[in-house]
Amino acid sequence: MNVDQQIVVVGTGGTISSRFDPAQGRSVASQAVEKIVALLPNRAELPRLEFQNFATIGSFEMTIEFAHKLTKHLAEQLAKSDVGGVVVTQGTDTMEETSFLADLLLPLGKPVVFTGAQLPHDHPQTDGPRNLEDSIRAAASPHAAGLG
């Protein structure tokens, strides 16, 4: 990991960012990515992070236009010399499609890691923070460069 480079964490919503909303009677994508990272016990061991909350929507609401805008945004982040990689938090309904589009359109080189969760942000056994931490470590690894 290059300490001069940072990892950009781009939030788009999904279960990983969801909390129960009593008014709606269901979990709703609403949490900023920095709130998920704040749950990590070993934050000091992570690389330098920048947080960007691109959207807070359920992945079932993602359109091809949204995925294309997101991919263009990721390309802009990767073009920055101080960025070593990007992590995207997204709902699992469309993560495969979005990550495939990104793989087709983004230049090889810096890692882009997509991650999500099966349990909401406020669930006692949420898997989101652990998945996010693992993804940040993967994006910061020099071994992940160029893997697609």
Is 92 among the residues known to form the active site? no
Residue 136 phi/psi, 5° resolution? Answer: -60, -45
Q: Residue ranges of the alpha helices (H) in 38-94?
A: 64-78
Sign of the Cα pseudo-torsion (2, 102, 13, 122, in order): negative
Query: Which residue's structure tokens are 């469309």?
Result: 94
C-alpha–C-alpha distance, residues 103 and 148, integer Å:
6
Which position among 15, 98, 115, 126 bears the catalytic label?
Answer: 15
Burial of residue 30 (CB within 10 Å: 0-12, 13-18, 19+) is middle
Query: Which residue's structure tokens are 């991919």?
Result: 71
Contact between 56 and 11 (Cβ < 8 Å): yes
Enzyme catalytic residues: 15
